Amino acid sequence: MIRILVVDDEQEVCDFLQEFLTKKNYEVLTATSASSALQCIKEARPHMVLVDVRMPEKDGVILLKEIKEIDREISVIMVTALRDEQVAKKTLQLGADGYITKPIDLDYLETNILVKRLFL
């Protein structure tokens, strides 16, 4: 079973995505901070991580770098409320596999996950 970690400082977003992805038969873990996300990555080794770009403790760009230092093979999709082409470009250069804006189009998210899943 594909294991996905959802990282967002808003618990409601984590809960919403966890419910949606669990119904799609994924094992879903959540974290509301970068530090708890890193701990989860080290312990649970998810196949994919959905990372909020803007978080208070540590932003998603820095978290992306740290995830890739732990395991370059983990697929990372950045999720953000702000459309920022420069940030999107930077995250893709750093190894992100996608960049999705909020409100999240669930069909688009599922398509992105399915495409990435082919390579897992």
pLDDT at 83: 79
In this structure, what CATH number is given to the domain that contains residue 75?
3.40.50.2300
Q: Total domain count for the chain? A: 1
Q: Rounded to whole angstroms, what are the CA distances from 115 to 14, 15, 31, 64?
A: 22, 23, 24, 20
pLDDT at 117: 67
Residue 63's contacts (CB-CB under 8 Å, 6 or more residues apart) are: 7, 34, 37, 38, 51, 55
Asked if pLDDT for residue 47 goes beyond 80, the answer is: yes
Arithmetic mean of pLDDT over the chain: 92
Q: Rounded to whole angstroms, what are the CA distances from 119 to 34, 73, 86, 99?
A: 25, 10, 27, 18
Instruction: Flag whether 120 is in a domain.
Output: no
pLDDT in tens, 56-114: 989 999 999 999 999 999 999 999 887 778 888 999 999 999 999 989 999 999 998 88
Instruction: Flag whether 105 is in a domain.
Output: yes
What's the rounded Cα separation, in Å, for the pair 29 and 18? Answer: 7
Q: What global pTM score does this model have?
A: 0.93
Instruction: Flag whether 119 is in a domain.
Output: no
Is the distance from CB of 48 to CB of 69 less than 8 angstroms?
no
Instruction: Flag whether 27 is in a domain.
Output: yes
Instruction: Flag whether 118 is in a domain.
Output: no
| Structural domain span for residue 52 | 3-112
φ, ψ dihedrals at 98, nearest 5°: -175, 170
pLDDT at 106: 94
Instruction: Flag whether 31 is in a domain.
Output: yes
